[in-house]
Amino acid sequence: MKIVVCVKQVPDSAAKVTVENGKVTWGDAPLVINPWDEFAVEAALRQKEALGGTVTAVTIGGEGTKDALKHALAMGADDAILVNDPALGTLDTQAVAQLLAAAIKKIGGVEMVFFGRQAIDGDSGIVPAQTARLLGWPSLTLASVIQAEAGAVRVERSTEEGRQIVKAKLPAVLSVAKDYGEPRYPSFMGIRKAQRAEIPTLALADLGIPAPAAVVTWPEVMNLPARDVKCEIIGGTPEEAANALVDKLIAEKVL
């Protein structure tokens, strides 16, 4: 079975993300594979282990984003593809989905596509569904249990209301929830393989599509308003403290 896992390089979850001069910045914090995508790679690898086949990791972006692909390779993915083109501008989720769908078609014969539930930077969580729509394949999101066999897949979804069991024919697009199970660590062999891997780049000409235009833009980005909180501890006997507190609350017009 040919399996694709789509991954994204994001700022580390410990990074302090702020806005400077209207632009989002995370300082010199390291970039890492989106933590949710590690679950997707794990799910892809377990399907491969159960059913045979290959796992190809795909991402979009410049040279630096190859590190996310290398992480997937080090975990055990067989190969990786970078989608990149100088003509690409700012991408929104539907533009990303167009590029990924085109890459998946280009790879050809893919039966399962895995995504993390969302990326921790954009946090939209809709690229899996958008990619499925463009491919015309079923979209099975938030999967916590995945059983594929004979051209079909049975998935338990972790929804807010509880568990939902859905079935679909393959090919299909799946996004993986955290309760699928802990992602494995990269192996030493995998680490070496990843460092030596030649990662091919697919440009727009290879995908046979024009540069997708973003329809959603971020006209303004702001920092969270700073919280200005003062803490005062009122002493004295409980009775005195209560009286002082009530006086203060009245003075502040809270009461």
Partner 1 sequence: MDFSLSNEHLMVQKMVRDFAQKEVAPVIKEYDRKQEPIPFVLPRMGELGILGISFPVRYGGQGMDYVSLGLACEELEAVDTTMRVAMSVHVGLCAGTLFHWGTEAQKQEFLVPLAQGKKLGCGAFTEPGMGSDVTAMRAAAKRDGNQYILNGEKMWISLASKADYALITVKTDPNPKKPSEALSTFIVDLTSPGVTRGDIHGKLGVRAGSTGWINFQDVRVPAANRIGAEGEGFKITMSAFDRGRYTVASGATGLIRAALEASVKYAKERAAFGKPIAEHQLIQEKIARMAQDYEIARLLYLRAGWMQNEGKRCTREISFAKKFATEASFKAADDAIQVHGAYGFSDEFDVERYLRNARGAVIYEGSSEIQTLIQAGYALGQREDKPLRCEQPAYDAEEWQK
- Please report, as a single letter, which amino acid is at residue 35: P
Burial 41-63 (b: 16+ CB within 10 A, else e): bbbbbbbbeeeeeebbbbbbbee
Residues 19-78 that bind partner 1 (CB under 8 A): 67, 70-71, 74
DSSP element (H, E) containing 24: strand 23-25
Nearest residue (CB) to partner 1, 32 versus 155: 32
From residue 168 to residue 187, the character string flagging contacts with partner 1 as x (rule: CB under 8 A) and all else as - is: -----------------xxx
Nearest residue (CB) to partner 1, 22 versus 30: 30
* Minimum distance of partner 1 from residue 12's CB (angstroms): 11
Check residue 134 for interaction with partner 1 (CB under 8 A): no
Distance (Å, whole) CA 182 – CA 189:
20
Residues binding partner 1: number (CB under 8 A): 13
For 177-230, what is the HEC assignment? CHHHCCCCCCCHHHHHHHHHCCCCEECHHHHCCCCCCCCCCCCCCCCCCCCCCC
* Minimum distance of partner 1 from residue 188's CB (angstroms): 4
Q: Which of 191, 199, 211, 244 binds partner 1 (CB under 8 A)?
A: 191
- Summarize as ranges the residues that interact with partner 1 (CB under 8 A): 67, 70-71, 74, 185-189, 191-192, 194-195
